[in-house]
Structure 1
Amino acid sequence: MTVHSAHTTLLEEAAAAAEGVPGVAFLKPGLAERLRSALSRPAPPAGRARPAGVRMTADGDDGSWHVEIQVVVARQARAVDVARAVRARVRDRVAALTPARPAPTVTVTVTGRV
């Protein structure tokens, strides 16, 4: 597995973990998804796209990850509770997939409510 595909897999796992939290309506769509829906074209089949609403970078010399998640929350849910649950679930999932690295830091931003 290449470094790029491993990074993409971690991004996908982090996105899936966040989307699975009760109260998360969806991850914040990126510009490509907005344009694609506005133009009503199907997604291009070539390669895997980076999940929208998730960014992951190496954090410092210790090799830990910093994960940024942007979510839109369902109106009936308390945003603070959803953000805490997303942070915990993503941190646990990434830590389980990268046991040789220190625990990741996770930042969750609630960008909207629906």
Structure 2
Amino acid sequence: MTRTAVHATLTEEIARAVEDLPGVAFLKPGLTGLLRSALPRSDRSTAAISSAGVRVSRSSGAEGWCVEISLVALRHMRGVDVARAARRAVEERVAALFPAETMPAQVSVTVTGLV
């Protein structure tokens, strides 16, 4: 599996794990996601849809992945609890996908709004 394929798969897995959490309304799309949303459904790629609100990178010298999540939470939930749950879910998912790494992910979660 190529590095790009691993990156895309990891991004999709993380997006799915966060979207399924109680209190998460949706992952906040970036500018690219907003522009792509104007395209007909058949023209959109799966990776582009599921990567909204998830940025995954890996430094050449650093161990593990650096994951940034931007999400919108439900108003009736405390934002800090939703952010903590999202962080835990991402850490567990990455650890499951990369069990040999001692520190598989450094995760930051930003709650950008409430609905």
Q: Name the TM-score, length of structure 1 as normaliser.
A: 0.87
Between the two proteins, what is the percent identity of the paired residues? 50
Q: What do residues 36-88 of structure 1 show as CA deviations (whole Å, max 9, x unaligned)?
A: 44x46335156732611001111463421110000000111110000000000
Indicate the structure with greater helix content: 2
The answer (yes or no) to whether the contact 1:67–1:107 under 8 Å persists in 2 is yes
Q: 1:48 maps to which residue?
A: 47
Question: 1: CA distance between counterparts of 2:32 and 2:45?
Answer: 15
Question: 1: CA distance between counterparts of 2:11 and 2:3?
Answer: 12
User: What is the SS of the residue equivalent to 2:15?
Assistant: helix
Unaligned 5+ segments in structure 2 are none
Map residues 3-42 of structure 1 onto 2, 5 A cutoff: 3-37=3-37, 39=38, 41-42=40-41
How many residues of Structure 1 are paired with residues of Structure 2 in the alignment? Answer: 113
Aligned-CA RMSD value:
2.0
Q: 2:65 maps to which residue?
A: 65
What letter corresponds to residue 41 of structure 1 in structure 2?
A: P
The answer (yes or no) to whether the contact 1:69–1:108 under 8 Å persists in 2 is yes
Structure 1's consecutive aligned runs of 4 or more residues displaced over 3 angstroms after TM superposition are 45-48
